[in-house]
């Protein structure tokens, strides 16, 4: 899979409104390399931040389960929680599409989309 396809997959996966996803994916095709780089950095930073927040949430849940006797402490907890998070993260992202607030990320991406559109005129 080439870089553009990976980025477009990430655009679809992150919890943005469908219309914004479509606009960003379409504009991405016409962006220059420096704009691609900036968009890629913003998207991956967002993905990584959401993933890390989910890992921390899952760690809290696991610790509560241990405290309540619903889970046994076997070995190192972090690798288990990390694996669990990796397995379910895409589904998690899909579930937060309607109520996730990524306004700062969206604003940064919109600036790039708008400047890209002006550069072509």
55 contact partners, CB below 8 Å, separation of at least 6: 81, 82, 85
**pLDDT, tens digit, for every residue of 15-32?**
888 899 999 999 999 999
**pLDDT, tens digit, for every residue of 84-119?**
999 888 888 777 755 456 788 888 898 988 886 555
The pLDDT value recorded for residue 55 is 95
SS3 state of residue 74: coil
The pLDDT value recorded for residue 121 is 47
- Of the listed ranges 64-68, 75-79, 96-100, the least confidently predicted one is 96-100
Triad 81, 61, 84: Cα angle to 5° = 25
Q: Which two tokens stand for residue 104?
A: 């700062």
Helix (H) or strand (E) run with residue 86 in it: helix 77-95
| Helix 18-28 vs helix 33-67: crossing angle, to nearest 10 | 140
């Amino acid at each position: 899979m080439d870089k553009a396809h990976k980025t477009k997959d990430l655009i679809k996966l992150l919890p943005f409104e469908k219309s914004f996803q479509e606009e960003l994916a379409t504009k991405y095709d016409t962006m220059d390399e420096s704009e691609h780089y900036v968009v890629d950095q913003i998207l991956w930073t967002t993905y990584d931040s959401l993933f890390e927040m989910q890992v921390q949430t899952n760690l809290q849940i696991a610790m509560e389960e241990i405290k309540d006797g619903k889970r046994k402490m076997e070995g190192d907890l972090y690798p288990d929680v990390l694996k669990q998070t990796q397995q379910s993260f895409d589904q998690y992202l899909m579930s937060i599409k309607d109520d996730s607030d990524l306004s700062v990320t969206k604003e940064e991406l919109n600036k790039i989309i708008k400047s890209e559109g002006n550069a072509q005129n």
